[in-house]
A and B are shown apart, each in its own frame.
Chain A
Amino acid sequence: MTLPSTALSIAGLRKSFGSNEVLRGIDLVAKDGDVISLIGASGSGKSTLLRCIPMLEIPDAGTVSVGEDSLSPTGGRLSRAQLAVARQMRGHLGFVFQNFNLWPHRTVLQNVIEAPLFVQNRPRAEAVDEATALLEKVGLSEKRDAWPAHLSGGQQQRVAIARALAQRPRAILFDEPTSALDPELVGEVLKVIRALAAEGRTMLIVTHEMGFAREVSSQVVFLHQGLIEEAGTPGQVFGNPASERCRAFLSGHFDRNR
């Protein structure tokens, strides 16, 4: 049996907004098939970390690698050549936003085939077939011709997941995928993500759903003030955290949910 290779790696990542240093040197590796949950208080930098991977925020220092492509931006800027590499990297990632961010002027199906057609230049028939299968997978085949505005939040987020899958990504990044949803809609989205984990998809998930993180992750990473404070298996991090801050964060979280 061959060992899984590295899908995504981050080394020495730093990012400031003005005088506020949000990430202060992050190292993280995701092997193929890893499901890594990023947890931490708001302001701990977990969303910024996730957004730095496809260069939605451009790091001040450090290296991000996705598959063969690697970028080490300096000074929060990308050169023209680096931007081309960034686009290549983005093509190998799927990104799911907190607020879904579907394109309002395109139908569900059009949202899903947009990148395959206009980024990957795949034949339309093939893209449509694949999109149809993906919509079935997220349980929305009957909505393929609906407008995003006519869907519930949970349905929109499932379309966004199908859209991310349509890029055939090496890894999928989820930025608090259920935080904008009504409580009764959270389940249907988590169910889809859970199924992806069972398929062996590589995923990084920023989440506040502790129960879900515990159940689905191969690794849990706790961020505090821009640094990784604690990392390990869900059993370690949730069961017996070494860090006092992590312990405090988790007990606060579980108390609130009780």
Chain B
Amino acid sequence: MDFAFLSGMLTQLLKGLPLTLNLGMLALAGGFGLSLILNLMRTTRVGNALASAYVFAFRGTPLLIQIFMIYYGLASFGFIRHGFLWPFLREPYWCGLLALILNDAAYTSEILRGGLRAVPRGAVEAARVSGMTRLTVMRRITLPIAVRQALPAYSNEVISILKSTALVSTITLMEVTGIARAAVSETWRAVEIFLCAAAIYLALSLLVTQLSAWAERRLSPWQFGETP
């Protein structure tokens, strides 16, 4: 094995890491915000139908197609090409990020919905009967319990979205996978190069897994037989 080549390649690929992390983090942040809105919408009948349709569409189609539709498809609409958002929507970065956010929101909203549904009814009743306002019940009881329930499923989504950023390499973005693809077409050493790229994603996943385990332990210590 050519270790010099591997380590050189790793250094080169790591230059794409900031963009990978940037896309991943912003997609997660945007997706979480949007998922809160989607869950709020679910409290009304029309909103519920819209949210369901949204989740159906974005969870039911490949992310790659969503990226292509946004990057190649939006330009065919005159009003978008002449609209005020065009300076953003013609950039591959913003198109890729938008697709990631919209896709992540669909999954995250379902994860959050599951967490909210798993909040024991009795805990909410006890809060209401103590005289709390609806906002206080949400802030002190419902959301904290829902987030704890949703955490394991959400860590899956974090890993999934970090890996999904690889797909934006298809619209010219030079994140880790983008750099790897370019290097392969120059050197034809596909196995070594993609092995390096995979190692980077693997390290990220490991980090997320550790962080999530730590957060779970910290937020729900009683499930680990710990006393405060």
Q: Interface on A for B, CB 8 Å cutoff?
A: 54, 56, 87-88, 90-91, 93, 95, 97, 99-105, 107, 114-115, 118-120, 145-150, 160, 163, 167
Contacts and interface: CB of A to CB of B under 8 A. Distances in A.
Nearest to A90: B131
A145 B228 contact: yes
B131 A167 contact: yes
B63 to A, nearest CB: 34
B61 to A, nearest CB: 37
B145 A105 contact: yes
Interface in B71-128: 120, 122-123, 125-128
B221 A119 contact: no
B9 interface: no
Contact of B132 (A102, A105, A119, A150): A119
A115 B131 contact: yes
A105 B144 CA distance: 8
Q: Per DSSP, are chain B's interface residues mostly helix, strand or loop, or mixed?
A: helix
B222 A104 contact: yes
Q: Per DSSP, are chain A's interface residues mostly helix, strand or loop, or mixed?
A: loop
Interface string B202-228: 000000000000000001111100011
B136 A118 contact: yes
Nearest to A108: B228
B12 to A, nearest CB: 46
B129 interface: yes
Given A56-B125, A97-B125, A103 B141 contact: yes
B7 interface: no
Contact of A119 (B120, B136, B144): B136
B227 A103 contact: no
A97 B126 contact: yes
B123 A103 contact: yes
Residue among B123, B131, B145 with most chain A CB within 10 A: B131
Contacts, number: 75
Nearest to A107: B228
A102 B133 CA distance: 18
Contact of B131 (A87, A148, A160): A87
Contact of A118 (B128, B140, B145, B227): B140
Contacts of B222: 104, 147-150
A88 B131 contact: yes
Contacts of A148: 222
B216 to A, nearest CB: 12
Given A56-B128, A95-B129, A101-B120, 13 more contacts: A88-B131, A99-B122, A101-B122, A103-B123, A103-B126, A104-B222, A114-B140, A115-B131, A145-B228, A149-B222, A149-B223, A163-B130, A167-B131
A126 B141 CA distance: 22
Interface string B134-152: 0010001100110010000
Nearest to B223: A149
Given A103-B127, A118-B132, A150 B227 contact: yes
Contacts of B228: 107, 145, 147
A105 B148 contact: yes
A147 B126 contact: no
Nearest to B148: A105
Nearest to A167: B130
A101 B131 contact: no
Contacts of A91: 130-131
List the 6 closest pairs (A to B, CB-CB), nearest first: A147-B222, A101-B122, A91-B131, A115-B130, A101-B126, A90-B131
B125 A101 contact: yes
